[in-house]
Each structure stands twice: as C-alpha cells, then as structure tokens.
Amino acid sequence: MNVDRIKKVFGLLRREKISAAGTCDESDIFYFTNIKAGGSFLLFAKGAVQLFVNSLYPLKHPWIKPEASMKKMKVSVLAVEPEKTTLAALKRIRKNFGCGIREEHNLFSKVRAVKAKEEIEKIARAQKMAKRIMRGLIFKPGTSEDDCRRQICVMSHRYADGPSFEPIVAFSKNSAFPHHTAGGAKYSADMSVLIDMGVKIDGYCSDLTRIKGLSNIKNPLKRAFETLRQARKIALGNIHPGSRIGALDGFIREFLSKAGFEKNILHSSGHGIGLDVHEWPAITISEKGKFEKGMVFALEPGLYFEGLGGVREENVYVLEDKPKELA
C-alpha cells in the first residue's frame, strides 16, 4: 500500500463528507497498492483501506468476500466513480454489499492527476522512447498503413513494455478521421502521413502525434497546421497553477474559429495522462477544474477536412510554474 497516496484519498473524503468509497478500476488499484490484479476491489472506509483480490491471484492472505467486510463495517452508502464503474458492477455492489451508491465524478482521478517526481520521470522516459520509435519508422512506396502500425507495435514491445494504445496510422485523406483504423492504403512519396502512438514504461503511458511528409501538405492543410501550432504556443503561455482547465480548450477553439476553421474542429484539445493514456482532466471547454503543479497532460488540437486530410500535433507537458514539455 502506498501510504501517502492513501492519506490523500482520506483527506479528500473528509472534505467531501464521504464516509466510504470504492473502486474496481485496475489502474486505481495499482496506483494505491502497487498490485496488478483484475477483478479486484479497493475499499476506503472508517479510516481504513482494504484490498479484495480475486482468488485467481496468489497473495499471502486468503480471499475474503468484500460484502462480509462491508457489512461488518456497516457501510450504508458507497461512493464510486461512474466513469469507471459498469452497470453490472453497480448492480453487484448493491446486491452483495447491501448499500446505497453515491456517484462521485473523478473521485480517485483527481488524486492521481497530480504526479509525483518518479511518475513524471517514467512518463518522460516513455515519451522519449515514443519519439525514438517515431523517428525510426521507415516508409517505402507500397508500405501500407497496417505495415506501419505493425512496425510501431513491434518496436514498442522491443524497446518498452508495449504500446499504450492501438497506434493510429493514416495516409493522406484518411487523416481526416481522427481515429482512423490503419488498413491497406499504400504509401507513395507525395503523401502526408499522420501517426498517433505511445508506449508504456513501468506502467506509465506516453502519447505522441506527428505528421510526416510536411512538404507534401498543401493549402488549406498547410495553413491549418501553422495555425494549430500558433494556437498551441499562445495557449501554453496562458497556463499556470490555478488557471481553469476548460479555458485552455476555449481559447484554442476561439483562436482556430477566428482563423476560419470552426467547422474543422472535431475533438477537445487534450487530456491528462499517466497510468492510463486518457486520464482526468479532459481538456474540454466544459471542464471547471483548475490546473495544479504536477499535473501531466497531452495537448493535441487538430483540424480535419473530409476528402483532403487532417492535421494534428501532440506533445506531453508537466505543469510547473508554467508548462514544460516532457522529453
């Protein structure tokens, strides 16, 4: 158990007047216990924390049914994160634990959002390796999107702990779809290539998007790409501890819209990153939370033109007094 992280949870529970909270999210459980075990449940209640691990996993202590401890502790209401809890899990909690459910958005996610030094170092290492793999990709006439995706996966397993998500490889007009699935499209020298990839190191993720063949990008894609970079540069200059997260997405959207690209914005400007490639906060205009020192986030605004292609560039930053790009 990580005592310091667990103390943060109990401090948050006291502030929010929550008597008990639980999670079955594997990343949450690993974050607080350093144990990887699917089907586990972590309970915070009555000033104590208990981990219930599926009997398939070898542990020193025998399997104890969570409901027995819950009833013994007389937990009447359990707080859970709805974003990470399936309907089936909620039904099981109600049936087995005999308690009510209190939905608390991003409860454990907000504790995880502020990274310790060693976490930041692991993300930086993963980002550095992603950049190394990106530089090593080889494109030859006839190479397919899927060939490139396979290259990324092989190198991710060779140099890291594997990819942090399924790589996105999109040639030419296919890049108009932000989450294009790599297929049989063949590369030629006059194409642009959008690649979105990341690797894991010691459990922590990286996320990197680049466009190769920039010299092949013609208007309006070339102007769109230059506008994106300008928007990101100015936006980063306005991020500081205490600034509202949603304001960052709002600024970027406004900047791109004024440049004539309002209809070409298809997604938010970024997201937190850590044990999961997408963590709280989502950098979207509706987010009311504020930036704190130690937050690590990916910034990836994009612009997309059906039938022509899309442009996106993604980097990962840690917030100190101002954002600092990792690796």
Please give the share of the chain, as a percent, with pLDDT higher than 70: 94
**CATH number, position 41:** 3.40.350.10
Residues 181, 303 share a domain: yes
**Pick from 113, 132, 150: which residue ends a domain?**
113
Residues 211, 83 share a domain: no
What pLDDT score was predicted for residue 86? 86
**Which residues, listed in sequence order, are joined to residue 317 by a DSSP beta bridge?**
297, 325
Indicate the number of domains in the chain.
2
- On average, the pLDDT of the chain sits at 91
Q: What is the pLDDT of residues 268-314, one digit of tens each?
A: 999 999 999 999 999 999 999 999 999 999 999 999 999 999 999 99
Q: What is the pLDDT of residues 156-193, one digit of tens each?
A: 999 999 999 999 999 999 999 999 999 999 999 889 99
Do strands 77-80 and 48-52 pair parallel, antiparallel, or not at all (unpaired)? unpaired
Residues 85, 161 share a domain: no
Report CA dihedral (46, 51, 55, 61) to the nearest 10 degrees: -90
Task: Tell me if 111 sits within 8 A of 144, measured CB to CB.
Answer: no
Selection from 310, 279, 284 nearest residue 297 by Cα: 279
**CATH number, position 284:** 3.90.230.10
Residues 236, 99 share a domain: no
Residues 261, 206 share a domain: yes
What residues make up the domain containing 18?
Answer: 3-113
Q: What is the pLDDT of residues 194-214, one digit of tens each?
A: 999 999 999 999 999 999 887
Residues 70, 171 share a domain: no
Residues 30, 169 share a domain: no
**Pick from 113, 139, 164: which residue ends a domain?**
113
Residues 267, 124 share a domain: yes
Scanning the chain, the segments in alpha helix (DSSP H) are 3-15, 26-33, 66-73, 87-97, 107-113, 117-136, 145-159, 221-236, 245-258
